Structure 1
Amino acid sequence: MQFEYSEPQTDLERALGGYFSINLFGKIIEGDDIKFRQFLERSAPPPRISVYLNSSGGDVEAAMGIGRLIRDASFSTSVGTYTLDHQEVGEYLIPRKFTPGKCLSAATLIFLGGRLRYFDPESEFGVHQFSFKNPSPHNLEKSQRLSAAIARYIEDMDIPAAFLELSAMASGHDLQLVTGDQLRALKVVTDGETPAAWGVEVHQDAMWVRGQRDSLFGHGKVMVIYAKSDGFSFAALVEAMGHERELMTFGLVEIIANGEDVRIDVTDRCLRSPTGIYIMFMIKLSDEEAKVLTDATSIGIRVRASEDAEIFLGIAAMSTEGGGSMLKGLYHIGSK
């Protein structure tokens, strides 16, 4: 497999940010995951850039290794190629050209590595069951181990098991093409935002319900917490994406719920602190506020310069679907 890295070409592109991308194309061979790691070390691309994939497949283990590297770097994935358009050279911006491509067989595992995943309707996405051309006892044993590794990889990438079931329905010799609508239904294609994922964590003296989601604007987590000593509180982790100063200093912080119907001004009681790539917001809640949030259909946090500012940072209210019963259970425990 070949790798190409493109970065800003003009002073204006560098000033605007973005204009970074990686193209992966060709057959995947054993060891390509090691080559890709070395490629990333040499090129040192920033996080949150797009990886464009055009491949008919190849080595499964190398594909999963590349997918994990893509996920660790917070890259997104798309099927096709994205190249400089030398026929349309500008003085300040150099146009890019997208060409639809193919993502087949093992290449689909690379695609799953993207935190956000895009699919053009003119591209092709094809799956089939993994198998050996010349079965033997050794190959059958290897196939079983590899099948388990694929299942674990798909789970680690937060892809529903239904995707693996779809692949298993096609024999190793037959490729099944999958449409963009099917891929979106399977949550394989996310476009610019992943569904919110909810979970519960319980410790000796505290428990919390956490929702998290990836989007074009970064990764975000919201948590409603109950502790025996402190009662209810709310926490949010907002990926800074270069806006550390604004997130730490903007003058208005609001918890939002039910879209934006509910706004709770928490500016005067909000603690803010940098935590790795995130800015953390921590707010003590009253029992009434906790009841509002645990009954809400969506929860987020909004950070603005003032009440009149139309642009905001933070986390747009994320749906509590899948976490509603957890939130209500948390309030029930804390309000006893």
Structure 2
Amino acid sequence: MQRLKIWRTSTLLLSAYACFLPAAASVVYRPAAGNRPPQISIKGDLVQTDIETFATIAETARQDAATFMPNGLVNVTLDSRGGNIWVAMSIGRIIRKYSFMTRVEVGASCVSACVYLLAAGEGRYVGGRVGIHRPYLPNDGVTSARAKKAQYEGINAQTRQYLEEMGLPKSLHERMMRTPPDGVNWLSAQELSAFGLTKMIPPPPKPASLGPPVTGSP
């Protein structure tokens, strides 16, 4: 009876612990079909395991896109409250490496760390909502004011460098850092444009017309 009670207690504790473990984001790939290019959708909070998942899917999408159309278009659709900022920047660099497009469709939201994914798109479309704030400091047991200050300065420097790497203005990072981590600054259409978070890529130019054939005199 005692062993059964211990087993039940352990099971309950493990179940309770599992409830607090962050679930990986849903990363789903849809191959090209008809006139629709390949699409990768990211939904949910970003965690460490999402990097490898996305990298594998991204390579498949890149190869698929190369056979679908000459410019190799791949859309990455986003609907996420954020998550691990280091994961977001790692995935963002993969997005930029392959020149994927990023999209926040109507009805979707891209908040917090998700914005670093949006920023990575070679082209960026926003039909939904985008919200920014200052990143959370990691909950890693650091308590001293000096250590917290060092953490903050490190996050500040690396996020600023990342956004500059993606070609976005310093004003976006400044606005992020002015917004408390427990709040959200929802960006207007004008702000999205000013911060460079909407960037449409024009279609590839059509081949120049050669004109009517020239015939010789009879």
Please indicate the TM-score interval, normalised by the length of the shorter structure.
0.7 to 0.9
Number of the residue aligned with 2:111: 104
What residue in structure 2 maps to residue 146 of structure 1?
A: 155
Tell me which of 8, 23, 47 is aligned to 2:32: 8
Q: Does the residue aligned with 2:46 lie in a helix, a strand or coil?
A: coil
Gaps of 5+ in 2: 1-24, 66-71, 213-218
Partner in structure 1 of residue 11 of structure 2: none
What is the TM-score normalised by the length of structure 2? 0.73
Shift of 1:182: 1.1
Deviation (angstroms), 1:60 = 0.3
1:176 aligned onto 2:185: yes
In the TM superposition, what whole-angstrom CA distance separates every residue of 1:164-192 from its partner, at most 9, and x where no partner exists?
Answer: 111122111111100122111222211x2
Structure 1: 4+ residue segments shifted above 3 A: 41-45, 137-140
In structure 2, the partner of 1:27 is: 45
Distance in structure 2 (CA, Å) of the matches to 1:45 and 1:104: 29
The one-letter code matched in structure 2 to 1:183 is L
CA contact (8 A) 2:123 2:198 kept: yes
Would you tell me which structure has more helix in proportion to its own residues? 2
Structure 2 CA distance, aligned partners of 1:41 and 1:124? 28
1:306 aligns with 2:201: no
**Among the aligned pairs, what percent are the same residue?**
22
The count of aligned residue pairs is 177
Q: Is 2:57 the partner of 1:39?
A: yes
Please give the root-mean-square deviation of Cα atoms over the aligned residues, in Å. 2.2
Is this contact kept in 2: 1:129–1:172, CA < 8 A? yes
Separation in 2, partners of 1:141, 1:41: 36
Q: TM-score, normalised by structure 1?
A: 0.49
Q: How much has 1:68 moved relative to structure 2?
A: 0.8
SS at match of 1:24: strand
- Cα deviation, 1:53-98, whole Å, max 9, x if unaligned, reads 0000000010011111111111111113xxxxxxxxxxxxxxxxxx
In 2 relative to 1, CA 133–145 (structure 1 residues): closer, same or farther, beyond 3 Å?
A: closer
Which structure has the higher relative contact order (CA within 8 Å, separation 6+)?
2
CA contact (8 A) 2:38 2:73 kept: no
Q: Give the AA of the match of 1:164.
A: H
- Please give the per-residue CA displacement for 1:10-67, whole angstroms capped at 9, x wherever unaligned: xxx2xxx543211111101124223211222355442321111000000001001111
TM-superposed deviation, 1:6: 1.1
Instruction: Go from structure 1 to structure 2 and tell me whether the alpha carbon gap of 1:7 and 1:60 turns closer, same or farther (over 3 Å shift).
Output: same
Q: Counterparts in 2 of 1:80-95, with a 5 A limit?
A: 80=105
Q: Which has a greater percent of strand? A: 1
